[in-house]
Amino acid sequence: MNLPKYKCWHILQNKLFYPPEMQADGLALDPGGRGFVNVSGKDTAENQYSDDRMIPSLFSGYVAEDGVEIYEDDIILANPPLGMEGSAQRYRVVWNNILAGFALQCPGYQFSMSVLHQKPAIRVIGYYYQNPELYDGPKEAKDDKNNP
């Protein structure tokens, strides 16, 4: 069984933490999925970081052509899916409850990330909370899971 892998954005520090850093610091996703707990100490209740301070981003299971793992809220540059015209454009990786999976979001629409198997020319160019200027699509609140 594979355990979910996360990176997280610390709102107060304006810093992105990657899985190796989180593991070294003893951070684990809160059982309710709404923040993180430092599991390296004796009393984890004192070491909780709620989602108003830390935003988790789940690993999507996809890897860009240069080997970089793609997480929720990453901004990627990818070719449009088959059947759609145009050159490469920027998409935000979001969780979509209707699809029960990850989707690529751009202004006006979303589609399942599974289309990346059709044209794998993708690369991660930023992270939504760290580089919001790279994404020109809709700006949702962090609790909105981007359902159309």
Domain locations in the chain as residue ranges: 6-54, 61-134
In this prediction, residue 79 carries a pLDDT of 76
In this prediction, residue 3 carries a pLDDT of 67
In this prediction, residue 146 carries a pLDDT of 41
| Helix (H) or strand (E) run with residue 115 in it | none
Residue 33 is classified by DSSP as S
129 closest CA partner among 71, 77, 88, 80: 71
CA distances from 109 to 42, 54, 112 (A): 47, 27, 11
19 closest CA partner among 45, 54, 58, 47: 58
Q: Are 63 and 69 in contact (CB under 8 A)?
A: yes
More confident: 49 or 132 = 132
Q: Are 41 and 61 in contact (CB under 8 A)?
A: no
CATH code for the structural domain at 61-134: 2.30.30.290
pLDDT at 60 over 70: yes
Token digits for 27? 């951070």
